[in-house]
């Protein structure tokens, strides 16, 4: 199963992906986690990404595509994947389409988690207190939401046109979205 999870910052993509991973038995590939790992490891790429991430901006498309291509070439991704945090703009959506066509692994479904901004701001505040992610401070969250609306929201239409987009209510019980996915696996 090859899935993309779409949704605003704090919409619960990471949480749902971790749960879906257990159900579907495919890796959870989070570009945000990969970038944070590069920052923590102090790699050249991490050094470039750090300030951009802390400002709530998007890291360059070239860095992301290279990182993703390498990750998808690893053995565990051959059986499928749950992609969380990519694509984040139309250039990335197009690049992913080409990459997956090249490796013969088209997407089965794209799931959009719908959560109102008021709930998102509250969730990020809680995460800021709990995890201390610099980009979860309320000012930066507002910036990330603006970038999301401007650059990432158009990606929904990209997948709606391809017929792969499904909406899910990310605001309900945690188990709800995961079990809906389990009961009704999206078809190609
Ligand atoms: P969230 O979904 O809560 O915004 P992520 O962990 O997915 O958090 O991403 C954190 C940050 O990492 C983003 O704000 C951005 O700076 C960077 N990032 C992650 N994925 C991408 C991507 N596909 N393109 C550009 N930047 C990215």
pLDDT, tens digit, 9 for 90 and up, residues 1-33:
999 999 999 999 999 999 999 999 999 999 999
pLDDT value for 164: 87
Q: CA 138, CA 117: separation in Å to the nearest integer?
A: 12
- How remote is the CA of residue 11 from the centroid of ligand 1, in Å? 13
pLDDT, tens digit, 9 for 90 and up, residues 64-89: 999 999 999 999 999 999 999 999 99
Q: What is the pLDDT of residue 185?
A: 47
Q: Which residues pair with 111 in a beta bridge?
A: 5, 166
Q: What is the best residue among 11, 40, 48, 59 to mutate for testing ligand 1's pocket, by most ligand atoms within 8 Å of CB?
A: 59
Percent of the chain with pLDDT over 90: 85
34 Cβ neighbours under 8 A, 6+ residues apart: 67, 71
Would you say the C-alpha torsion 28, 179, 117, 133 has a positive or negative sign?
negative
The confidence score (pLDDT) of residue 181 equals 55
DSSP-H helix ranges across the chain: 13-24, 31-41, 44-54, 61-72, 90-102, 117-131, 138-147, 154-162, 174-183
Phi, psi values for residue 103, rounded to 5°:
-95, 10
Is 27 in contact with 82 (CB distance < 8 Å)?
A: yes
CA 32 to centroid of ligand 1, rounded, Å:
5
- The residue-averaged pLDDT of 118-135 equals 93
Quote the pLDDT of residue 171.
59
Ligand 1 pocket by Cβ (under 6 Å): 9-10, 13, 31-32, 35, 52-53, 56-59, 64, 85-86, 88, 92, 135, 144
Q: Is 46 helix (H, G, I), strand (E, B) or coil?
A: helix
Say yes or no to pLDDT of 61 above 60.
yes
């Amino acid at each position: 199963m090859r899935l993309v999870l779409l949704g605003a910052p704090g919409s619960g993509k990471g949480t749902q992906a971790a749960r879906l991973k257990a159900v579907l038995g495919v890796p959870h590939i989070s570009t945000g986690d990969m970038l944070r790992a590069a920052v923590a490891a102090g790699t050249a790429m991490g050094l470039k990404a750090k300030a951009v991430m802390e400002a709530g901006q998007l890291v360059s498309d070239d860095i992301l595509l290279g990182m993703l291509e390498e990750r998808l070439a690893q053995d565990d991704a051959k059986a499928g994947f749950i992609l969380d945090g990519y694509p984040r703009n139309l250039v990335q959506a197009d690049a992913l389409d080409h990459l997956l066509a090249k490796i013969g692994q088209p997407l089965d479904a794209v799931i959009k988690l719908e959560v109102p901004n008021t709930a998102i701001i509250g969730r990020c505040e809680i995460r800021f207190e709990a995890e201390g992610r610099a980009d979860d401070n309320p000012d930066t969250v507002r910036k990330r939401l603006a970038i999301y609306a401007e650059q990432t929201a158009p990606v929904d239409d990209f997948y709606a046109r391809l017929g792969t987009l499904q909406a899910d209510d990310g605001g309900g019980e945690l188990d709800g979205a995961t079990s809906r996915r389990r009961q009704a696996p999206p078809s190609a």
